[in-house]
Amino acid sequence: MREYLDLVERVLSKGILKHNRTGVDTISCFAEHYTIDLSEGFPLLTTKKMQIKSLLYEVLWYLSGEDHIRNLRTKTKIWDAWADEKGNLDTAYGRYWRRFPSAEINPATGAYEVREVDQIGEVIKILRTNPNSRRMVISAWEPGNAFRSKLPPCHYTFAFNVQGKKLNCHLTQRSGDIALGIPFNIAAYSLLTQAIAQEVGMEIGYFSHTIVDAHIYVNHIEGLKEQLKRTPKPRPKLIIAKKPLDELQFEDFTLTGYECDEPIKFEVAV
């Protein structure tokens, strides 16, 4: 996918060296942005093999609203490094997508009462009743949680926008690991956009992405340079069963036409 390779080239050529909490330095750029036309195919990288099974399980876990990884870790270990021994996760994206705590004052008592907001559910309602709304925003950033979490949300907010009959998604990310995280983020939010568009009877439009701190870990540079030598292949097609979003299971997703190059191993910085 050319958009991704262009991002890699920009950060390698323009980035500055920065220290960070992991102890592994990065090459970093500020406020990188790109847009992908989803009608051209599912944006799963072809210049290296991607683990589509892990991706699907992760997205379904987000949609479950769970705040632990006890079920997820039986399928993939991608979140194990940030959970406690019981599988609880300080910042679980799905918890905030589906059960964001909203504090309101009870007029009778004057005290705050907390209710949970299903942000995904609310956006689907708006898409069905007022698709031209500019208020279809979903946030995973709850300050009280984020400032004490072991890993606060990286991809912390996204918004949907309808143009004609096409559903578009814009993701804002405070921190983006270009070698490992960004390819998964692209595919995950594109999948989510496609699933929601199908649910509300719309076509897929664009996925747009802003990364505040777009970085490459120095021990990932050689692997990314190898990837830049490879030529992107045609994008695969993702087929999703026609079911309500909350009824989708792993077997309801079919990826066709996925041809890719050999994997490239990158170490995770924890």
Task: Kindly list the catalytic residues.
Answer: 154
**Ramachandran area for residue 110 (φ above 0: left; ψ -120 to 50: alpha; else beta):** left
Judge contact between 76 and 245, C-beta under 8 A: no
Q: Facing residues of 16 across strands?
A: 28
Q: Which of 127, 160, 142, 137 is nearest to 93 (CA)?
A: 142
Which residues are paired to 254 by β-bridges? Answer: 239
Q: Which amino acid is at 34?
A: Y
**Pairing label, strands 16-18, 166-177:** unpaired
Amino acid letter, 41: G
Which residues, in sequence order, are bridge partners of residue 217? 26
**Strand 253-256 versus strand 237-240 pairing type:** antiparallel
Closest C-alpha to 228, from 6, 67, 19: 6
Residue labelled with tokens 């050999």: 262
